[in-house]
Amino acid sequence: MSGANPPAYNSRQGFGRGGNNKNNPPKSPAQAPQAPQAGAMSNSPSLTNSLTMDNLAANDPDAPKYFFQEKYAPLNVRGNFLTLCACPKNVELGEWLAHQIVEQYRLLHGMLQVIQETNSVTGLPICNESTCPTMSAGRLTYTWLVDGRAAKISAPKFINRVEKWIVSKIHDPVMFPTEKVNGIPETASMRDANGTSATPSSATPTDSTSPAGTTGASADEWIGQSSGFPQTFYKDCQGIMKQMFRCYAHLYHAHWLNPFWHLNKHDILNMCFVHFVTVAKYYQLVSDKEMEPMQPLIDLFIKQQRVPPEALSGGHWAQQPAAN
């Protein structure tokens, strides 16, 4: 990438973090806290019917939200994610944000794979047209912009299109002017060649304001300029993170019990989500209003300082008001 300072860094590949930098998320702990109907997964018809009911109950906006309770919100890590979030002094901010976007998509993709597993009895994925006819998060339903109009589509279709859209952004040599992507998992979206032209509703937000210092003193200065990123790069990052948040909101509201609790992967989901929220708040990539469907859990993680104080109110911009 032209102008990039540290030559050893590739925004798509990341800096390398050792054993956890894989397509598959880390394994969950052997024990899970007590909660209603928790147990090991199997392919028995009775359990399949039970899990289907779990899904239908989860999509009921009045169903209990166990994931908002502290006893059901464990993390299998200590400390917080600030060290993985803050931009190193010797790294250009555009390069670092590109790395963060790719990393957050990698983590989200791992969680989405959990709900895309096909049940051997029903022949359907856990998140399907019947269990999730809309992309919901409690009482909120997300829409997709089709032919200039907001349309309600099923959660699996919505998620498929979001993944396809994000991957297209990462592979776009204009938005991400780097060499060929390595390490990005092949998704169903990437294999989908249906040629849909729909884009996420509000994919590039127009209702958010850029924090102080993000665009520089004039229109000729912007984040990532010295590394070859386009002037719209920061706004595009906001759009990508916004759509990723909506996927997390659906995972919790519709699938926390089935499959994450039943598979004992709820703590991994929490770990990925806390990491996401820390990055989103530190760089003001997702608005507080957009985060409202998950606010009780975010407040819990803030109370526990899992989301560190430095990340609140746009920690990066507060600490580096003159950053490009």
Which residue positions form the known binding site? 127, 132, 250, 255
- Hey, what amino acid is at 315? G
Q: How many CA atoms lie within 13 A of 287 on its CB side?
A: 12
Q: What is the CB neighbour count within 10 angstroms for residue 199? A: 17
| Buried/exposed 305-315: b ≥16 CB within 10 Å, e otherwise | ebbbebbeebb
Q: What is the rounded CA–CA span in Å between residue 33 and residue 137?
A: 24
Alpha helical stretches, state H, the chain: 45-58, 82-85, 93-115, 155-171, 188-191, 233-255, 266-282, 295-303, 315-319
Q: In terms of Cα–Cα distance, which of 50, 95, 96, 2 is closest to 258?
A: 50
**Both structure tokens of 212:** 């102080």
For residue 224, count other CB atoms closer than 10 A to its CB.
27
Q: Which residues contact 324 (CB under 8 A, 6 or more apart)?
A: 93, 213, 216, 221, 222, 223, 225, 226
Query: Interior CA angle at 219 toward 217 and 223, to 5°?
Result: 75
Residues placed in the known binding site for Zn(2+):
127, 132, 250, 255
Give the strand order in the sheet containing 149-151.
149-151, 144-146, 199-200
Q: What span, in angstroms and rounded, lies between the C-alpha atoms of 9 and 166?
A: 21
